[in-house]
């Protein structure tokens, strides 16, 4: 089974790497570090065995941040390595602070993984969510390195997919020491796939344990001053096809609320240029953050075309819309908890299955509304902007959901402690 998988990977690898290395405007470049994907990994500045956290791209790095910060505090003498597959993930990982180094994850060939392990010699591998690769897991386990999957989730659809290739899943799971699941439903599905129940536990979602964000920081204050008292909505982490719907919703909103400002933040930096062109094509007055263009009274759309500033932009909003949720189930939504942790009411499209439990809690609490059409989104935005009491109640409900679910990071550190050297 693993031999067949490796053969298929050999055929697919050029196309996978082409996607990683293709140059696009706004997309960070891998550059000369491409050799790291083949196991030619520079040694760390510290000679100690690092705690290795793998987070494939932007979303996983953001989710891993509270765990990384907690690890630094709990093990101050340990070095921490964060690996990502993508350059956009690397850009976020580089901002995790002192004591944390970044390297690119080797592609899933045994020679590449073994080269990486020889140079890095980690004491444990901690995988964010469910980024599982057969050759990697086999090589790491063979090297005597424990493997723990953190913040794991497994949808009904994914479970059925694994059942169709059960021998491959068995190959993966036998190398994993422990799986820490977000919710009991996830744990039950892993057990149904044959994972020993003693090797599965529930920690909750670490995404609830967002680091406290300073809303009085200079970037937030200066942006609020530029916006003045205008009603603002942030369309966050959007994908192709969503921008058009959301810009049309903003056009409808402006007919009723002429001073409203839309902050549009595409999910992938390589789309920044295309989205800017789309905004201008639709006739909006545009300012771009990356070009330090000021927001004036005539600005209708502010393009958040920078990396690592999502919380700053969200902090200025009256209401938010979370992208990845409009395109018929393709993406499954993005992090609803970032605006919730700031006490912001929000709107999502109907496809939020990547945050199903979290989304359902926010909706039930009255902190989030689901809308799909241009008119539905515009009316929901207007409903929040024209009703400060509704905004406040929804924001407080969002904060309550976040607060009552905190604690996953502490449970995660407790669970992984047996495999970490003090």
Percent of the chain with pLDDT over 70: 100
Q: Are residues 124 and 241 in the same domain?
A: no
Q: Are residues 364 and 281 in the same domain?
A: yes
Average pLDDT, stretch 331-340?
Answer: 93
- How far apart (Å, rounded) are the C-alpha atoms in residues 201 and 152? 10
Q: Given strand 100-104, what is the order of strands in its sheet? A: 100-104, 80-84, 51-54, 124-128, 147-152, 178-181, 200-202
Average pLDDT, stretch 377-396?
Answer: 97
Which of the following is catalytic: 36, 60, 129, 369?
60
How confident is residue 331, by pLDDT bands cut at 50, 70 and 90? confident
Give the chain's mean pLDDT.
Answer: 93
**For position 239, which CATH number holds?**
3.40.50.2000
- How far apart (Å, rounded) are the C-alpha atoms in residues 200 and 280? 51
Q: Are residues 344 and 411 in the same domain?
A: no
**Taking 90 as the threshold, does the pLDDT of residue 2 lie above it?**
no
- How far apart (Å, rounded) are the C-alpha atoms in residues 279 and 300? 10
Q: Are residues 28 and 154 in the same domain?
A: yes
Contact between 409 and 71 under an 8 Å Cβ cutoff? The reply is: no
Number of domains in the chain: 2
Residue 132 lies in domain = 2-209+406-419
Q: 3-12, 21-30, 311-320 — which one is most confidently predicted on average?
A: 311-320
- pLDDT score, position 212: 85
Q: Are residues 157 and 9 in the same domain?
A: yes
**For position 155, which CATH number holds?**
3.40.50.11720
- pTM as predicted: 0.77
More confident residue, 131 or 387: 387
Biggest alpha carbon–alpha carbon distance for the chain: 64
Total Cβ atoms within 10 A of residue 1 = 11
- pLDDT score, position 97: 84
Annotation marks residue 36 as catalytic: no
- pLDDT score, position 36: 95
Sign, CA torsion 350/383/404/316: positive
**Taking 90 as the threshold, does the pLDDT of residue 399 lie above it?**
yes
Q: Are residues 86 and 139 in the same domain?
A: yes
Percent of the chain with pLDDT over 90: 78
Q: Are residues 229 and 196 in the same domain?
A: no
Q: Are residues 126 and 30 in the same domain?
A: yes
Q: DSSP string spanning 163-174?
A: HHTHHHHHHHHT
Q: Are residues 114 and 256 in the same domain?
A: no
Contact between 112 and 38 under an 8 Å Cβ cutoff? The reply is: yes
How confident is residue 330, by pLDDT bands cut at 50, 70 and 90? confident
- pLDDT score, position 48: 85
Residue 304 per-residue DSSP state: -
Q: DSSP string spanning 71-93?
A: HHHH-TTS-EEEEESSHHHHHHH
Q: By C-alpha distance, which of 52, 77, 57 is closest to 67?
A: 52
Q: Are residues 260 and 164 in the same domain?
A: no
Residues 6+ apart with CB under 8 A from 194: 166, 169, 170, 173
Element (H, E) at 178: strand 178-181
pLDDT tens digits for range 186-245: 999 999 999 999 999 999 999 899 888 999 999 999 999 999 999 999 999 999 999 999
- pLDDT score, position 329: 66
- pLDDT score, position 148: 97
- How far apart (Å, rounded) are the C-alpha atoms in residues 278 and 252? 17
Residue 330 per-residue DSSP state: S
Average pLDDT, stretch 331-336?
Answer: 91
pLDDT tens digits for range 143-190: 999 999 999 999 888 899 999 999 989 989 999 999 999 999 999 999
Q: Are residues 57 and 196 in the same domain?
A: yes
**Taking 70 as the threshold, does the pLDDT of residue 42 lie above it?**
yes
Q: Are residues 308 and 384 in the same domain?
A: yes
Q: Is 270 exposed, middle or buried (0-12, 13-18, 19+ CB in 10 A)?
A: middle
Residues 6+ apart with CB under 8 A from 187: 179, 181, 200, 201, 202
Decide: helix, strand or coil at residue 148: strand
């Amino acid at each position: 089974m693993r031999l067949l998988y490796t053969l298929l990977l050999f055929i697919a690898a050029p196309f996978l790497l082409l996607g990683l290395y293709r140059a696009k405007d706004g997309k960070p470049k891998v550059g000369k570090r491409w050799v790291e994907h083949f196991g030619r990994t520079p040694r760390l500045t510290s000679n100690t065995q690092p705690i290795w956290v793998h987070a494939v791209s932007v979303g996983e790095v953001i989710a891993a941040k509270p765990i990384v910060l907690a690890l630094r505090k709990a093990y101050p003498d340990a070095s921490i390595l964060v690996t990502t597959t993508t350059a956009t993930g690397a850009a976020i990982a580089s901002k995790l602070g002192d004591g944390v180094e970044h390297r690119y994850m080797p592609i899933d060939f045994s020679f590449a993984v073994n080269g990486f392990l020889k140079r890095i010699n980690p004491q444990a591998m901690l995988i964010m969510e469910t980024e599982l690769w057969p050759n990697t897991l086999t090589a790491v386990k063979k090297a005597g390195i424990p493997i723990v999957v953190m913040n794991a989730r497994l949808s009904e659809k994914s479970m059925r997919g694994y059942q169709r290739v059960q021998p491959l899943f068995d190959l993966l799971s036998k190398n994993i020491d422990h799986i820490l699941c977000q919710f009991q439903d996830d744990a039950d599905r892993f057990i149904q796939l044959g994972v020993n129940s003693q090797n599965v536990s529930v920690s909750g979602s670490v995404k609830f344990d967002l680091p406290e964000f300073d809303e009085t920081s200079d970037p937030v204050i200066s942006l609020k001053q530029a916006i003045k008292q205008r009603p603002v909505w942030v369309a966050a982490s959007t994908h192709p096809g969503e921008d058009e719907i959301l810009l049309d919703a903003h056009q409808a909103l402006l007919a009723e609320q002429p001073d409203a400002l839309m902050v549009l933040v595409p999910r992938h930096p390589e789309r920044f240029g295309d989205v800017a062109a789309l905004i201008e094509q639709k006739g909006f007055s545009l300012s771009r953050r990356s070009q330090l263009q000021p927001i004036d009274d005539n600005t209708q759309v502010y393009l958040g075309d920078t990396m690592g500033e999502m919380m700053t932009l969200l902090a200025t909003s009256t209401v938010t819309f979370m992208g990845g949720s409009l395109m018929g189930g393709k993406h499954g939504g993005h992090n609803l908890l970032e605006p919730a942790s700031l006490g912001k009411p929000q709107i999502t499209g109907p496809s939020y299955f990547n945050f199903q439990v979290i989304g359902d809690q926010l909706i039930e609490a009255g902190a989030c509304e689901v809308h799909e059409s241009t008119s539905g989104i515009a009316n929901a935005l207007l409903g929040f902007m024209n009703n400060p009491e509704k905004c406040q109640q929804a924001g407080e409900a969002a904060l309550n959901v976040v607060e009552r679910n905190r604690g996953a990071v502490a449970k995660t550190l407790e669970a992984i402690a047996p495999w970490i050297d003090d």
